[in-house]
Amino acid sequence: MQQLRHFLLAVSMLFIVTSSQAALPLQDSSGQALPTLSPMLKQVNPAVVNIATFSTQQANNPLLNDPFFRHFFNLPDNQQFRQQAPKKRQQSAGSGVIINAADGIVMTNYHVIKGADEVQVSLEDGRSFTAEVKGADPELDIAILQIKADNLVAVPLGNSSNLEVGDFVVAIGNPFGLGQTVTTGVVSALGRTGLGIEGYENFIQTDASINPGNSGGALVNLRGELVGINTAILAPSGGNVGIGFAIPVNMARASMEQIVAHGEVKRGQLGIGIQDITPELREAFELKNGQQGVLVTGVSEGSPAEKSGVQAGDVIIAVDGDETNSAGQLRSQIGIKAIGDKVRLTLIRDGKEKKMDVKVGEPQQLSAVSGKLHALLEGARFENNPDGEGVIVAGLSPNSAAAYSGLRPGDIILGANRQRVRDIESFKKALTLGESSVLLHINRGGSSLYLVIR
């Protein structure tokens, strides 16, 4: 039985590869055709690049970060040590993908080039170039670089919306600094959210091996089309365990187009508060068995959603015909739209299905990215509280300073630096009163508490 399964797998791989490639597969000594990805990889590999970043950082003793240690030895504030500490040159490595050969446009992860003073892009043919950072989308973890070089090769962009669980995919990158490494696997799951890795999450999950250094590399289908940007792994033991995540190329392309055109990404909003559907809510809102969706908990006054007739209690089940299964997925579906675009929402109201066209509006007063508010809040995302005053922590990176200080997703911020917080705008003004630390007054599950973030 096991031999039969291996034979069927080999036949299926042979069919896929030979039907998608003009070149014939290799043959063994008896003349039998063997399945191979080589013809496709010869076309794609030149478009996958190695990225080295250089930054100057100050050496620092970890003990100096401990306030008790500084107090015990009567040492001055840690900031003075940072200013006086010797500087050292650091280098890190990642991967990237050439998207536009004519203009030298390279796509990678934002975390690969974050904080870099210099970015070097090395090609498969041995050439190396200093890259210009055209812009970045930290919430999606995408950065766009540009190099000035001739005879570049770009990978064609696929349609990640056409992916299905079980599709064969190939990951190409530079794990551990090893150039042009290829691993294969399948799409294990789609639409993964709630991982706390990025602000907008709608990941492709794959069992193709992804390791440190693969970040920013290519995830391609067997036609050699880019379907994802490899981003993260789930590694409880520190190594690859067969669970990797990639940003769908459709989301990455939407960010790239805005960065190339405007140098930044401006995301619009519908002006709604949302939450995931629980089994109890599914029954209460008369959803069919197995039907997923996102519950609208509130609608901001004067927002595009209100103008289009969206109401609290509506359950959004699709955007532009694509199913919506979670709050994170809905944010991603709207996040790839440009301000001014119209989206068609399919929703359930009073047990009946309705369709509404909603114009994506300006993000002001609806949500804010943490890094634009205060450096100490980088890695968090905030939204106005649709149920009253305050600002909700809508997303939070687990490795951020705010998370280490005790901030949690779902917290409602009522005050900052002893100033009342009514909405995003008042929150922004209150944060200007503190540079080295932020004092937050929070409501968590009905209980009030204060947090200091340094």
Element (H, E) at 355: strand 352-359
The DSSP code sequence of 49-84 is: EEEEEEEEEE---GGGG-HHHHHHTT---HHHHHHH
Range 239-242 contact pairs with CB under 8 angstroms and sequence separation of 24 or more: 239/211, 240/209, 240/210, 240/211, 242/185, 242/207, 242/209
User: Quick check: is 322 catalytic?
Assistant: no
SS3 content of the chain, % helix, strand, coil (to 5): 25, 35, 40
The Cβ of residue 350 has, within 10 Å, a number of other Cβ atoms equal to: 9
Sign, Cα dihedral of 371, 377, 380, 383 = negative
Number of H helices, E strands in the chain: 12, 26
Contact of 100 with 94, CB cutoff 8 Å: no
Q: How far is CA 331 from CA 42, 240, 421, in A?
A: 37, 29, 24
The Cα–Cα gap between 337 and 331 comes to 10
Q: DSSP character for 23?
A: S
Q: How far is CA 40 from CA 22, 102, 330, 449, in A?
A: 9, 21, 34, 57
Selecting among 137, 141, 314, 411, the annotated active-site residue is: 141
Selecting among 95, 111, 255, 326, the annotated active-site residue is: 111
At 6, give phi and psi (nearest 5°). -65, -40
The Cβ of residue 320 has, within 10 Å, a number of other Cβ atoms equal to: 13
The Cα–Cα gap between 188 and 121 comes to 31
Selecting among 215, 255, 300, 370, the annotated active-site residue is: 215
Q: How far is CA 190 from CA 155, 161, 167, 261, 327, in A?
A: 22, 10, 11, 29, 15
The Cα–Cα gap between 216 and 309 comes to 40
Element (H, E) at 399: none
User: Quick check: is 71 catalytic?
Assistant: no
Q: Distance between terminal CA atoms of the chain?
A: 61
The Cβ of residue 7 has, within 10 Å, a number of other Cβ atoms equal to: 10
User: Quick check: is 262 catalytic?
Assistant: no
Cα–Cα–Cα angle for 281, 284, 287, nearest 5°?
80
At 165, give phi and psi (nearest 5°). -60, 130
The Cβ of residue 348 has, within 10 Å, a number of other Cβ atoms equal to: 20
Torsion angle, alpha carbons of 201, 202, 208, 214, to 10: -40
Which are the catalytic amino acids? 111, 141, 215
